[in-house]
């Protein structure tokens, strides 16, 4: 997760503490939101007011991305399940789970592999509305990268390499003011997800939008076109 409010990919590179026994998948309530399958932990229903706001936020973000992501990649995204938790991570918000083995080894439900987990309902709403209105797309971009394009997608490798070599994202404007090292520098997965936010909507690090991305990082912009196709609006 971007620690100033930021999502992350659950990968083997990071250690995590063992969690308590997880809730069985069959105990989750299944919902459909904008064509996406959403599985809701029983604890969430005990917080009706917060849950209502969170589902409004989730639906709003999914509606926005459904309006701009081309048909073929959108169909791939709709295969990704959402798992909604009340709070499994105090400093979390949302994350894409890459590895079933990582989940199993760290005490989490391995069935979440290949899915997006909203792991802290309050933070999801707060961070989305404060600085990351395309947080959901960020996590789905991770899913598209790993499940559709493949981890070692050549155009991504080369685009990320040139961005790092040129130090494009070492110090950029941040949405709330000042300069920061962009989250896109973290690794190629975050580079892809961050640029996807700018390509389809608005990122919290500059370049913020599609037109800004095209001017600032034309190689990254071409990566987006190749990977996703042309936005529908």
Contact 173, 206 (CB under 8 A): yes
- Given pLDDT bands bounded at 50, 70 and 90, which one contains residue 20? low
Say if residue 1's pLDDT is above 60.
no
Q: What is the pLDDT of residue 221?
A: 99
pTM exceeding 0.85: yes
Averaged pLDDT score across all residues of the chain:
93
The CA distances from residue 45 to 29, 49, 50, 95, 125, in Å, are 9, 9, 9, 21, 16
Tell me whether strands 172-173 and 29-33 are parallel, antiparallel or unpaired.
unpaired
* E strand residue ranges, 59-156: 82-84, 94-97, 116-118
Q: DSSP characters for 62-78?
A: HHHHHHHS-HHHHHHHT
pLDDT digits (tens, 9 = 90+) for 138-178: 999 999 999 999 999 999 999 999 999 999 999 999 999 99
Terminal Cα distance for the chain, rounded: 28
User: So what's the pLDDT on residue 21?
Assistant: 81
Residue with tokens 């040139």: 162
Q: What is the mean pLDDT of residues 38-49?
A: 97
- Mean per-residue pLDDT for 5-14? 41
Tell me how crowded residue 105 is: count the other CB atoms within 10 A of its CB: 13
Average pLDDT over residues 122-131: 98
Structure tokens given for 18: 């063992």
pLDDT attached to residue 2: 59
Between CA 203 and CA 31, with CA 117 as vertex, the angle to 5 degrees is 105
Q: pLDDT of 97-106, one tens digit each?
A: 999 999 999 9
Percent of the chain with pLDDT strictly greater than 70: 91
| Burial (Cβ within 10 Å: 0-12, 13-18, ≥19) of residue 215 | exposed
10's enclosing H/E stretch is strand 8-10
The answer to whether the beta carbons of residues 83 and 116 sit under 8 Å apart is yes
Give the separation between CA 233 and CA 224, rounded to whole angstroms: 15
Q: What is the pLDDT of residue 17?
A: 44
Please answer whether residues 109 and 25 qualify as being in contact, where contact means their C-beta atoms are separated by less than 8 angstroms.
Answer: yes
């Amino acid at each position: 997760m971007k620690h100033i409010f930021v999502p992350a990919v659950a990968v083997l590179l990071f250690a995590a503490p063992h969690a308590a026994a997880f809730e069985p998948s069959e105990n989750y309530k299944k919902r459909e939101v904008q064509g996406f399958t959403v599985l809701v932990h029983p604890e969430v229903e005990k917080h009706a007011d917060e849950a209502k706001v969170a589902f409004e936020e989730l639906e709003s973000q999914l509606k926005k991305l459904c309006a701009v992501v081309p048909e073929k990649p959108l169909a791939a995204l709709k295969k990704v399940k959402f798992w909604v938790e009340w709070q499994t991570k105090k400093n979390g918000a949302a994350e894409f789970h890459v590895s079933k083995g990582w989940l199993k080894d760290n005490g989490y439900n391995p069935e979440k592999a290949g899915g997006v987990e909203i792991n802290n309902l309050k933070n999801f709403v707060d961070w989305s509305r404060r600085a990351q209105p395309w947080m959901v797309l960020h996590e789905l971009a991770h899913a598209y990268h790993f499940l559709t394009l493949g981890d070692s997608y050549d155009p991504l490798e080369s685009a990320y390499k040139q961005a790092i070599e040129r130090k494009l994202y070492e110090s950029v404007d941040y949405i709330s003011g000042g300069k920061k090292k962009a989250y896109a520098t973290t690794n190629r997965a975050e580079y892809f997800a961050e640029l996807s936010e700018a390509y389809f909507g608005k990122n919290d690090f500059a370049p913020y939008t599609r037109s800004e991305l095209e001017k600032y990082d034309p190689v990254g912009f071409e990566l987006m076109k190749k990977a996703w196709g042309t936005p529908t609006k």
